[in-house]
């Protein structure tokens, strides 16, 4: 049973493809919760005047788009355009979350905003460091 489940994991060497799968799965969870409730989104943007259902759904669609790209990267990490697009999803996420924290002031430092900043930073650094390993030109 376990070996059949393991066959569904990315088969490419290294941990980066598996990381992409984990991050994509977390993003799908985040997407679902944004459609279902405002609770976690309000925790994230805790300094915003009011997080609306429309804003949460828009954030959900953006998050789902990033999840699809990252999920695809988990299984096609050696494809240069996919690798590059995935790297950009983390750059966009980093820019978004840090600007909400430091420029717009809609978030204050807490786990809700710090975790996506950490995930995007770690992912960016990891992907830059491993570029030549996965994308063989």
Q: What is the pLDDT of residue 128?
A: 96
Query: Which whole-number Å values give the CA distances from 30 to 2, 18, 36, 131, in the listed order?
Result: 27, 18, 10, 27
For the chain, what is the mean pLDDT?
Answer: 92
Q: Express as a percent the part of the chain with pLDDT over 90.
A: 71
- Is the model's pLDDT at 27 over the cut of 80? yes
CA distance 51 to 43: 10
Return the DSSP state at 96: H
Task: At 67, list the tokens.
Answer: 């999840």
Return the DSSP state at 89: H
CA distance 88 to 39: 28
């Amino acid at each position: 049973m376990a070996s059949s489940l393991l066959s569904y994991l990315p088969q490419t060497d290294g941990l980066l493809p598996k990381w992409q799968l984990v991050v994509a799965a977390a993003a799908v969870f985040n997407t679902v919760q944004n459609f279902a409730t405002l609770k976690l989104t309000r925790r994230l943007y805790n300094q915003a005047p009011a997080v609306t259902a429309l804003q949460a759904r828009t954030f959900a669609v953006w998050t789902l788009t990033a999840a699809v790209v990252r999920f695809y990267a988990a299984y096609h990490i050696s494809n240069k355009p996919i690798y590059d697009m995935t790297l950009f999803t983390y750059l966009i996420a980093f820019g978004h979350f840090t600007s909400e924290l430091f420029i717009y002031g809609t978030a204050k430092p807490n786990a809700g905003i710090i975790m996506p900043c950490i995930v995007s930073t770690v992912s960016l650094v990891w992907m830059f460091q491993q570029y030549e390993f996965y994308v063989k030109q």
